[in-house]
Amino acid sequence: QTFDKIIPEYRMRNVIYSLKFIPKSEESIDWKENIKVELLGLLLNESMAQLRYNDGFAIYGVGSNGYYNFELSQYNFSIWFECLANELTEIRKEVENYITKIKTSKIDKETFEKAYNSLKTWYSYRYSNTNSAIQQRLYEYYGKLRKIKFFC
């Protein structure tokens, strides 16, 4: 039996929801603005997690992102997930509410801190294997060894 002929024995009730927002930018952005865009993407992700864990919706495969496309000079924000078809209308309203909260800076502190900590973790991980970070760790390690006095 080939993979393309496998048919589930039950009717699939999930639908895929995807939302993209791609505004054009007048000029290219700097690294600080790029970090803000990434933070917005993580705020979207945290908000979508709240739909599942706090609001109790049956959503799965949740994902979202925010990034700046330097080649096309445009922002890219995306949300996607699977949900039950009968909950889609209500979920769309909640997604709009979360986006409005983000736009108007009415995000609760816990959501912001989760997104901010995710961003810090991501950047510290990306930085942790650079040559300068490795040199710094070696300097700190061997610098401590020099301070140890050995007595015979």
Per-residue pLDDT at 86 exceeds 70 = yes
Distance, CA of 133 to CA of 124 (rounded, Å): 10
Per-residue pLDDT at 88 exceeds 60 = yes
* 76 beta partners: 67
- Per-residue pLDDT averaged across 55-69, rounded? 89
pTM for the structure as a whole: 0.67
Q: What is the pLDDT of residue 82?
A: 92
Q: What is the pLDDT of residue 78?
A: 92
Q: What is the pLDDT of residue 26?
A: 80
Higher pLDDT, 107 or 55: 55
Q: Count H helices and E strands in the chain, helices first.
A: 4, 3
